[in-house]
Amino acid sequence: MAFSSSNKKNKAFTEINITPLTDIFLVLLIIMMVVAPTFQSMDNAITIPEINSGVSIEQKNATVSITKEGLMYINGKEINPDSLIDELVALKPSLEKPEVVVKADENVKSSEIMKVMNAAQDAEFKKLIVAGEPLTKKEQKELKTNSNKQGA
């Protein structure tokens, strides 16, 4: 936006030419795109430790497993879902920490997991952990076979 005046010698320069500014930004963008992959390749020398499920294996926890059929197990022992609160209360004194770990098949409805959450709250457990990996088919078969062996 230039102002016109009667005196052409004193004409004010009020327009900004953004072409050089755009060129600078494009050059910086290209430089960053070329340099960025070298930062990622430097991380190859670092060995990142593997993370387990977040719960130490040595700790004794109340692990509630739910299969896709809706069967519930506490620490590998099949239980009746109606007696879940009583089972958790009975198990609580033998635990190092009042924690419940829930492992469920991916096809289990969230209402079943909510029942476990409510039961843990009623049994006055302080922490509930929902396992990130659902029960595998192998784990479900092991639960069934171990439950049948204990029942026999």
- Domain extents in the chain: 8-45, 62-151
Answer yes or no: CATH 3.40.50.1820 is held by domain 62-151: no
Tens-digit pLDDT profile for residues 103-150: 877 777 888 888 888 998 988 888 888 776 556 677 777 777 877 776
What is the pLDDT, as a whole number, of residue 133?
A: 59
Distance between CA atoms of residues 119 and 82, nearest Å: 10
User: Which pLDDT band, with edges at 50, 70 and 90, does 30 fall under?
Assistant: very high
Q: Which two tokens stand for residue 116?
A: 């476990």
pLDDT digits (tens, 9 = 90+) for 47-106: 444 444 454 434 567 888 888 778 888 887 888 888 888 888 888 888 877 888 888 777
The band of 44, judged by pLDDT with boundaries at 50, 70 and 90, is: very low
Kindly report whether the global pTM for this prediction surpasses the value 0.85: no
